[in-house]
Amino acid sequence: MALVIGNNSYSEVPVLAKARADAQSIGTKLNELGFTVTTALDQDRRGLNKKISEFTARLEPGDAAFVFFAGHGVEIGGENYLLPTDIAAPSAGGSDFVKSESIALSDLLDRVRKTGARSAVVVIDACRNNPFELVEGRSIGTTRGLGRIAAPQGTFVIFSAGAGQLALDRLNEDDTAENSVFTRALLPLLSEPGLELRTLVAGLRREVRDLALTVQHRQVPAYYDEMLGDFYFTQAALPAEPAPLPISTMQTDFEVARSIGTPQALDTFLERYTGREDEYTYTVALQLRQGLETEQALVEPPAPQTPETPDIPVIPDSKSVMRDTQAALNEIGCQAGRTDGIAGPRTRSAFAAYLAASDSNLGADDLGTAHALEELRQKSGEICKPAPRTASAPAPASSAAAAPLAGAWKFKATCALVVKVTGNVHYTHAGGNKYHGRLSDSLGQNANTEVYLNGQQISGTDYFPGITVTWRGRLAADGRSFTSSGSTGCAVYAWR
């Protein structure tokens, strides 16, 4: 279900050129994609409220809703207001009048939320010059654009420009395109098969930014993500064989640089994506590069050559050591999987199983080191045998039995070959097998987390700003630690 609004013909504030055409183009595209579209063009306040009511009346619990607004908007006192065509230019100090005669964005979002819609995507192209910038010598609202918002849960809101930025209708006097810069970048992305919403928005932001920079203007669409799970406007065609979900070019380049594993490869990646330092993938790549510098500094120089030892063995690289380590773990029954030289979740689990089943003095951080490999090569037989079951009396009930995850935990995560993150999380029992928590880590990130415990099996979702991480793990028998791996490739060990 979709509601598409486009207002050009304002009676007392500046008329717009492309808002109506933008709405019509978006509506046509959504019709092609199978949406039921409610269209509202050049609507006064009464007509706009009527169209919104018609739209929300059609929404049913579990529906996916889409709202598009192109027209004038203004931010007053931290709230964003969408202006109908009959909005009057108020006298100085008339902020309250503007509020009463327009549509508060938060009210619109709330009206959609109350229908029980499963998810809502809201696109607002109202980041133009403030139509009330000067009214009898005073400004009503911010100078230009809209302000930041707090989106309700289940909602993904996109603004055509960032806070305080101006959205361009055209690039120059010779630009005769029917649609605004933002809408012309958005339209083709809506019908691209298999493009998840967050990947779509990342591409949209880059495209609009690059177009605006051609005329020395700064416009980067802003978004506010409170949606749970993935959203697709167009599902990917069913392949003959299962194929991985599409990922961004940045993510693809990072995986290539990480698999090569050399400082030069990572330097090339970091240089290519200069300007995107606030993104998670860039942070991981930077820490990986710094980790390689640390490892290189710790490598002892080779012993000098002497005539008695003309053939000095070459010190193997870290990937070679990891491949040999995986092979050695497989030999003793610890099931490390493929010998690909990558310390993935299965390899780390196999090494942890070896540490638990042997009398080794090694630690988890020794995985991939030469001395750990040497110890593994000296072992024989099946070390990682399943522990035999032994009869025992049931443990006495304790206050923690009803909520074994509740309380404070520390964790250590390995998120790439040498990138390590530490942090804390506190879980609160939310009834049944559900827990809520608050997480903070050494990268300065904070997240809300939702966890379910079924026996010893744990599944969770961490909601970081701009990224949602899903993970699965297992609680130790004593309830004092657990291990997990997630959608970002991080392997986690938590304890208390």
pLDDT in tens, 312-349: 444 456 788 888 998 998 888 888 888 888 888 888 88
**Which distant-in-sequence residues (6+ apart) come within 8 Å of 271 by Cβ?**
none
Domain spans in the chain, listed from the N-terminal domain onward = 2-225, 249-298, 318-377, 407-495
**Which distant-in-sequence residues (6+ apart) come within 8 Å of 347 by Cβ?**
322, 325, 326, 329, 336, 337, 367
pLDDT tens per residue across all 496 residues of the chain = 999 999 999 988 889 989 999 999 999 999 999 999 999 999 999 999 999 999 999 999 888 999 999 999 888 877 888 999 998 877 645 778 888 889 999 999 999 989 888 899 999 998 666 666 644 333 344 445 565 666 668 899 999 988 778 888 888 888 888 999 999 999 999 999 889 999 999 999 999 999 999 989 999 999 988 888 889 998 765 454 444 445 567 887 887 787 677 788 888 888 888 888 878 888 888 888 887 776 555 554 555 554 444 444 444 567 888 889 989 988 888 888 888 888 888 888 888 888 888 878 788 878 888 888 989 898 888 888 765 544 444 444 444 456 788 899 998 887 644 457 788 999 999 888 999 999 998 877 888 999 999 888 899 998 877 678 888 999 888 888 888 887 777 788 888 8
Provide the pLDDT for residue 19.
93
Cα angle vertex 161, ends 160, 164, to 5°?
140
**Which distant-in-sequence residues (6+ apart) come within 8 Å of 394 by Cβ?**
none
Which residues lie across from 157 on neighbouring strands?
A: 122, 224
Report the run of H or E that residue 211 belongs to, with start and end: helix 197-213
Q: For the CA atoms of 406, 409, 412, 413, what is the dihedral angle to 10 degrees?
A: 30
Kindly report the pTM of this predicted structure: 0.49
Please list the alpha-helical segments (H only) found in 63-150: 95-100, 105-113
Domain 2-225: CATH class, spelled out: alpha beta
Beta carbons of 210 and 203 less than 8 angstroms apart: no
Sheet strands (E) in 173-221: none
Domain 407-495: CATH class, spelled out: mainly beta
Same fold for the domain at 2-225 and the one at 407-495?
Answer: no
Cα separation, 138 vs 116, whole angstroms = 42
Q: Buried b vs exposed e over 263-300: b needs ≥16 C-beta within 10 Å?
A: eebbeebbeebeeeeebbbbbbbebbbebbeeeeeeee
Provide the pLDDT for residue 69.
95
Q: Starting from the edge strand earliest in sequence, which strands make up the sheet with 119-125, in order? A: 37-41, 2-6, 64-70, 119-125, 155-159, 222-225
The closest alpha carbon to 260, from 318, 183, 301, 218, belongs to 318
How far is C-alpha 315 from the chain's CA centre? 40
Which residues lie across from 412 on neighbouring strands?
A: 422, 493
Provide the pLDDT for residue 305.
53
DSSP-derived letter for residue 340 is -
Cα separation, 256 vs 276, whole angstroms = 18
Provide the pLDDT for residue 435.
92
Provide the pLDDT for residue 149.
64
